[in-house]
Chain A
């Protein structure tokens, strides 16, 4: 093909030689890549890490972590701060966010298939933590490890809000901690002060007491409020519905909705187990007993006078109904205060909404001899480390986990995007204390008093059963309760149906 001069000195490479050279080249390239890769992944030494604070932070420089999270404010805010984290540690972090059900599916597949594509995971207490607890790394050996950077406040129960660490971090065994509290959604009452005030005379004339909401307002009072508003609406008065439930398609929040009322009345719980730690063998359920059947009856009565879209309203839709002025009151998660106080999108903004603890149990509704409390439940989102990852990667992940839950970061998330802090020290900051009063620059802070100082504390706090089959349990509770609300089952039949299905679930 090409011109070759006569008597030119050149050698011809045989096919075998060509393959040999190619093979050698490929081997060298592979070895080089491996060396570079290993160097950029984990080549840390614990001894050298102890030498200085900077060495502790930098010991895993070059490694990469993927954090799978729900699309909640902290993850968006922390994503904006990843450059600062990289500068501090040299660790690259990628944060993937999605809706909770998708996170649940991806996390489940990753954990159960023995891989660690997502080294860090957002583990919501019951939907993710309870079924996958055994697949997360125990963080207790890393707390106080001198070769790792540590938060100056520490990680004991006392630095987090009451019950937070146990809710999201401890599963079936009190000695292990699987997650650090990352964010929180605590139930509290949102009510329209202006609407309550405008209708209080008419209400008082009919019911004999004022239409107002206090820490002692009971579920019986809520039933009265809802009945009053529904009657007024049907009579053609320009008023919203009084109340609405979370009975839409998201099974977990649907279950939480009825659980609040059950716990408020006699501190009734589903199983005779430690409500906070949970159990892998919960035994027979309490559903179907006299107390639960009575509460089911009351729940149905409340549904009958609530907003007619109850069965289509999940938590988000319910908040839209409230923001659009179609209900006078809702029990909602405190993280929604930021959207309710947004004057651009909410008719309930501008000082019209009051925040208070969840309703209290009514003495007449208690048959089990228990106490009437302001039953408050929650979803505490933790940040967990995938136990399938190798030890060095787990330690690198720990550095991110403790950094992302630090008080400074939580304060900035609260200030910027409306986060929900989990460390007590954040609430003590003067700016946050000031934001607890109107006009507030941090609307979520308006809920902090009823939530952190009242609802989340014992004896009001309930978590609900942490059991390995938590998601199927939620689904059964939601669909069976919905059948009752649709008129397909009465309260007694609902209780019996729940007992049969749940006992079969835990036996199987």
Chain B
């Protein structure tokens, strides 16, 4: 009797699984807001050790190329001197940073630069995604938009260096013709050079935000939008009440990516200004590069790198927390 009951239960489970699979295909074809149960597997779960063995070679490789240098970096941050001949100085490298004007101004400039880049990239990126989404030329536009992103940042820097050049630069001529610039080039003034760098970053990386936002737009549940429209909402209202809350999770990824990139990508800045003029573009990663590889003060460089890493992690956590907060129109 119990065996009969057990068999019929198994049959019922199997039927449920097939239902689930059927529903999941519909979800792919036309996103729905309701979350569906994950189909269970017919196979027994493998032991955890099995997965560990599979990952072991990759973990070992990662440890060799990434973790070992990271721990070495921590050790160096407490030392002063050259490779090979070092002196243990405790926290001195860190305490000295508190009175290092270039370190402190590096932070200010980094936040200023990151904030401008993120604000413009998210704004323009989402706008472009909305324009491109559903356009007749969507595929062409997406391909065209991706082109700057495919360029190596150092090459992009060189390209813009020529465009900004005060002697033969095309953009220099446009800026002057529009009355934005006076006689000097955009890179020759401490007041404008930061904007020149932001423009390059926005040009190169806004397409990434567009691409991610476009993927997010494709996943906005139509049932919610249709219900909202039936209730009489305007397209704008629909965008802010339905589309944007559904975009938050993908935008979080985009913003996080760009935020971290801004903290570490310095290629185009090195090519365009090298941190000048008058330190006006010497954001912290540029200063870190100088200290470590121009001045060869590796202990101080390691201390700056560690502080930069810790702050990046903390800010990343805060950012995730902000985006994770439930919103009225969304999750």
Contacts and interface: CB of A to CB of B under 8 A. Distances in A.
Given A317-B165, A483-B279, A485-B278, A312 B84 contact: no
B274 interface: yes
Contacts of A326: 167
Given A112-B82, A113-B84, A311-B276, 8 more contacts: A113-B83, A247-B277, A309-B166, A309-B188, A321-B166, A471-B295, A479-B276, A479-B282
A281 B191 CA distance: 37
B294 A488 contact: no
Contacts of B91: none
B276 A249 contact: yes
Given A308-B166, A312-B187, A482-B190, A108 B296 contact: yes
B270 to A, nearest CB: 9
Contacts, number: 98
Interface of A: 101, 104-105, 108-109, 112-114, 131, 247-251, 308-313, 317, 320-321, 324, 326, 469, 471-472, 475, 478-479, 482-483, 485-486, 488, 508
B189 interface: yes
Contacts of B191: 486
A482 B276 contact: yes
A249 B293 contact: no
A114 B190 contact: no
Contacts of B184: 308-312
A309 to B, nearest CB: 4
26 contacts: A101-B294, A112-B82, A249-B276, A251-B274, A308-B182, A310-B184, A311-B188, A311-B189, A311-B190, A311-B278, A312-B277, A321-B167, A324-B167, A324-B168, A471-B296, A475-B294, A475-B295, A478-B276, A479-B276, A483-B190, A485-B277, A486-B189, A486-B277, A486-B278, A486-B280, A508-B96
A250 B270 CA distance: 11
B296 A482 contact: no
A309 B192 CA distance: 13
Interface in B265-282: 273-280, 282
Contacts of B185: 308-309, 312
Interface string B51-95: 000000000000000000000000000000011100000000000
A472 B295 CA distance: 6
Nearest to B191: A486
A313 B161 CA distance: 11
Contact of B294 (A105, A247, A317, A508): A105
Contact of B84 (A112, A475, A478, A488): A112
A114 B276 contact: no
Main secondary structure of the interface of B (DSSP, over half): loop
Contact of A249 (B83, B273, B297): B273
Contacts of A310: 184, 188
Contacts of B273: 249
Name the interface size band of chain B. Answer: 20 to 34
B43 interface: no
B183 interface: yes
Instruction: Report, nearest first, the 3 A-B pairs whose CB atoms are least far apart.
Output: A249-B274, A308-B184, A312-B188
Contacts of B276: 248-249, 311, 478-479, 482
A112 B274 contact: no
A320 B167 CA distance: 8
A108 B293 contact: yes
A431 B272 CA distance: 42
Nearest to A101: B294
A486 B96 CA distance: 28
Nearest to B80: A508
- Interface majority SS on A: helix, strand, loop or mixed? helix
Contacts of A113: 83-84
Interface string B108-127: 00000000000000000000
A105 B190 CA distance: 27
Nearest to B184: A308
Nearest to A113: B83
Nearest to A320: B167
Contact of A308 (B188, B190, B274, B282): B188
Q: Which of B165, B187, B191, B294 has the most chain A CB within a 10 Å cutoff?
A: B294
Contacts of B297: 472
A486 to B, nearest CB: 4
A182 to B, nearest CB: 22
Nearest to B166: A309
Interface in B281-301: 282, 290, 293-297
Nearest to A473: B295
User: Residue among B166, B184, B280 with the most chain A CB within 10 A?
Assistant: B166
Contact of B278 (A101, A324, A483): A483
A474 to B, nearest CB: 9
A479 B279 contact: yes
Contacts of B277: 247-249, 311-312, 482, 485-486
A471 B188 contact: no
Contacts of A114: 83-84
A485 B275 CA distance: 16
A136 to B, nearest CB: 15
A249 B275 contact: yes
A112 B277 CA distance: 30
A104 B294 CA distance: 7
Interface string B210-224: 000000000000000
Contacts of B280: 486
A43 to B, nearest CB: 29
A78 to B, nearest CB: 27
Nearest to B102: A479
Contacts of B166: 308-309, 312, 321
Nearest to B85: A112
A247 B166 CA distance: 14
A304 to B, nearest CB: 12
Interface in B148-182: 165-168, 182
Nearest to B181: A308
A114 B273 CA distance: 33
A121 to B, nearest CB: 15
For A101, A312, A324, the residue with the greatest tally of chain B CB atoms inside 10 Å of its CB is A312
Contacts of A313: 188
A112 to B, nearest CB: 5
Interface string B290-331: 100111110000000000000000000000000000000000
Contacts of B182: 308
Contact of A131 (B96, B168, B189, B296): B296
Contacts of B183: 308
A49 B276 CA distance: 54
Contacts of A321: 166-167
Contacts of B165: 317, 320
Contacts of A471: 294-296
